[in-house]
Amino acid sequence: MVLPVVHLAVRATEAPDLVDLLTSRRVTEATASTLVLAATVTSIAAALGVAMAWVLERTDVPAHRLLGIWAALPLVVPTYVLATAFKDAFGPGALLFELPGVVGFRGTATALALSTYPYVLLVARAALASVDPALEEAARSLGDGRRRAFARVTLPLVRPAVAAGGLLVFLYVLSDFGAVAILRYRTLTMAIFTEYRTSFDRSTPAAFGVVLVALTVVAVALERVARGRATVTRAVAGTRTPVRQRLGPMRWPVAIAVAAVPAVAVAVPAAVLVYRASLSTGRSEPAGVVARAAVTSVGLSLAAAAACVVLSIPISVLVARFRSRAAGVVEVSVVAGYALPGLVIALALVFFSSRYAPVVYQTATLVVAAYVVRFFPEALGASRSAVAAVDPALEDAARSLGDTRWRAVRRVTVPLVRRGLFAGGALVFLTAMKELPATLLLRPAGYDTLATRVWTGAVEGFYRQAAPSALLLLVVSAFALGPLVRGARQVSPS
């Protein structure tokens, strides 16, 4: 997972004027606008995600199970589809109604916040669900009001999860190309694509990439601070369901408000796709092609999700239980892949695998490897929060009662962290379904995923051809969402 960083560093040092380049106005401006966008999107996504998690976990909002799945639905929409739909629906020449600033910062930030808040929502829900309500009740019995108890007891317990979700959002924004390209907001990633496209020079984009890696290091460090001292978080299994706050007459208005946010992110793109496709007289797509692409997408994404979950277990134990500097280095290096544009990852893998691993070059294995490099932190964030929430004393207790070390892990820790692992696997699966740049370059000849079919159609404006694949991408992913959200949350014990 550090290969892309090594590759970037090598390419960047080939630039004749690296220092001048790194301090030039172009780089500093792109860096500043990237930071502004990432910070804005992270704040909005964190606020939306935590608020929705609280409503879903701690109030008597109606239909909260259905609402929970619905709320995570924007995860299935690729940013390039969402951004195109926003531009069509609300941009100049709007199909719906024109909103000022859709093209530019405001539109880009809105589209990205809507795409990413589920990252916070899922981990915040998992965390809220695993907090022992007895703690809050204890605080209340000692005289705290409901709000005060939530703020003093529960919030600190879910803070690591929110910080982890926020980090994912922040880094996702750094690497996004779809929304910034379509809604025209210049970030470092946009600059990297521009350099490749126009100058065929590989050292300048690499220098931009190095700046992205530096931003990642800072973001990870900040998150470690925001996460706070992991030693305060303790969760146990088999606790009672917390008493849900009564919303009274606000039940339905709150439900509608929670439902409206994902509706904008899902219904608008779906409607625009159908409308554009119905208008077009161009070529359409044979059903067989779409079906094959769907099977390929699901297979590759599942393989990536499984690989990420398996890999995340030892690393999350390392970073959650041993807060050493080495653990920090490990974390930064695995997270870097997430913040880099898919094109950069893909070219690094082209370089290394075509030379040193020709057996896997241009095979599905390499595509899966690229997904793991790109999306591993999604699994790691969830697994780490889960592992951090398990009191090692529970394992010690099991061992003192005669279990071997591994038996204690299997009987005590695994059931407690399972929901976190599911959440992580779900995120990786859904993100991999949408992945485009690395898939495009690394896929075996003749191999298509739903995302590459969408690209093949939309890049030359064949909307009628692109629409079925795009819609199927939404539908197939949505099917996965149900079991995965439930798995992530592990509904109240039966």
Partner 1 sequence: MCMPNKVSRLWAALLAAAAIAATSACSTSDGGDELFVYSGRNENLVRPILEQFAEDTGTDIRLKFGDTAELAATILEEGDRTRADVFFSQDAGALAALASRGMLAELPDTALEIVPEKFRDPGGKWVGVTGRVRVIAYNTTKLTAADVPGSVFELTDPKWRGRVGFPPTNASFVAWVSALTEEVGRDQAKAWLEGLEANDAKTFDNNLATLEAVADGEIDVGLVNHYYLYNEFEQRPGSPVANAYPGQDAGGEGTFVNVSGLGILQGTKQGAAARKLVEYLLGDDAQEYFREETAEYPLRDGVDPLPDLPALDSLRTIDVPLSDLGRDLEGSLELLKEVGLT
Q: Which residues on adjacent β-strands are paired with residue 59?
A: 245
Report 253-272 residues binding partner 1 (CB under 8 A).
none
143 or 238: whose CB is closer to partner 1? 238
- For partner 1, the binding residue among 256, 279, 287, 326 (CB under 8 A) is 279
Looking at the DSSP bridge assignments, the partners of residue 235 are 390
> Any residues with CB less than 8 A from the CB of 244 and at least 6 apart, and which?
58, 59, 60
Q: Among 74, 91, 107, 118, which residue sits at the site for partner 1 (rule: CB under 8 A)?
A: 91
Task: Give the interface size with partner 1 as a residue count (CB under 8 A).
Answer: 75
Amino acid sitting at position 371: Y
Q: Looking at 36-44, 147-155, 294-302, 311-319, which segment touches partner 1 (CB under 8 A)?
A: 294-302
Comparing CB distances to partner 1, the nearer of 261 and 389 is: 389
Our CA dihedral for 494, 239, 53, 392, rounded to 10 degrees, sits at: -120
Q: Residue 171 or residue 304: which is nearer to partner 1 going by CB?
A: 304
Amino acid type, 18: L
Of residues 137 through 156, those in contact with partner 1 by CB under 8 A are: none
Pick between residue 62 and residue 483 the one whose CB is nearest to partner 1.
Answer: 483
- CA-to-CA separations, 375 to 53, 81, 300, in angstroms, rounded: 23, 20, 13
Nearer to partner 1, 245 or 365 (CB): 365
Q: Which of residues 317-356 bind partner 1 (CB under 8 A)?
A: 343, 346-347, 350-351, 354-355
**Which residues, 432 to 491, sit near partner 1 by CB under 8 A?**
437, 440-441, 444-447, 456-457, 459-465, 483, 486-487, 490-491
For partner 1, the binding residue among 62, 145, 253, 299 (CB under 8 A) is 299
Question: Taking contact as CB under 8 A, which single stretch among the options 85-93, 121-129, 153-161, 467-475 is the one that binds partner 1?
Answer: 85-93
Instruction: Provide the minimum distance between the beta carbon of 50 and partner 1 in the complex, in angstroms, as a whole number.
Output: 26
124 lies in the binding site for partner 1 (CB under 8 A): no
Which tokens belong to 15? 């630039």
* Least distance between partner 1 and beta carbon 251 (Å): 27
The tokens for 182 are 């379509």
Contacting partner 1 (CB under 8 A), which of 232, 295, 326, 475? 295
Among 3, 22, 222, 302, binds partner 1 (CB under 8 A): 302
Give the nearest distance from C-beta 194 to partner 1 in angstroms. Answer: 4
For the beta carbon of residue 66, count every other beta carbon within 10 angstroms. Answer: 12
Largest CA distance in the chain: 72
CA nearest neighbour of 209 among 118, 337, 361: 337
Nearest alpha-carbon partner for 78 in 458, 462, 430, 438 = 430
Q: CA separation (Å) from 226 to 192, 230, 313?
A: 30, 11, 22
Q: Going by C-beta distance under 8 Å and a sequence separation of 6 or more, which residues neighbour residue 51?
A: none
CB of 373 to partner 1, least distance (A): 16
Minimal distance, residue 147 CB to partner 1, in Å = 32
* CB-side neighbour CA atoms (13 Å) of 442: 31
CA dist., res. 21 & res. 26, Å (int): 8
Find the binding residues for partner 1 in span 13-42 (CB under 8 A): 26
| Bridge partners of residue 390, in order along the sequence | 235
Q: What angle do CA 336, 338, 344 make, to 5 degrees?
A: 80
- Is residue 162 within 8 Å of 47, Cβ to Cβ? no
CB of 281 to partner 1, least distance (A): 6
Provide the minimum distance between the beta carbon of 146 and partner 1 in the complex, in angstroms, as a whole number: 30
Nearer to partner 1, 120 or 181 (CB): 181
| Measured distance CA(229)–CA(396) in Å, rounded | 21
- Toward partner 1, which CB reaches closer, 142 or 281? 281
Q: What Rg value do the Cα atoms of the chain yield, rounded? A: 23
Residue type, 115: S
Q: Which is nearer to partner 1, 42 or 297 (CB)?
A: 297
In a 3-state reduction of DSSP, which class is residue 345?
helix
3-state class of 267 per DSSP?
helix
3-state percent helix, strand, coil for the chain, nearest multiple of 5 = 80, 0, 20
CB of 199 to partner 1, least distance (A): 5
Of 49-68, binders to partner 1 (CB under 8 A) are none
DSSP annotation of 101 reads: T
- Closer to partner 1 at the Cβ: 2 or 351? 351
- Within residues 164-223, the interface with partner 1 by CB under 8 A covers 181-182, 184, 191, 193-194, 196-202
Nearer to partner 1 (CB atom), residue 165 or residue 205: 205
Token reading at 338: 């997430």
Q: Under rule CB under 8 A, which residues in 352-411 are in contact with partner 1? A: 354-355, 358-365, 368
In angstroms, give the least distance from the CB of 18 to partner 1. 16
Calculate the CA 480 to chain-centre distance. 15
Pick the closer one to partner 1 by CB: 329 or 414.
Answer: 414
Q: Which is nearer to partner 1, 253 or 483 (CB)?
A: 483
| E strand spans, 108-206 | none
State which of residues 19, 246, 281, 401 lies at the interface with partner 1 (CB under 8 A). 281
Nearer to partner 1, 319 or 386 (CB): 386
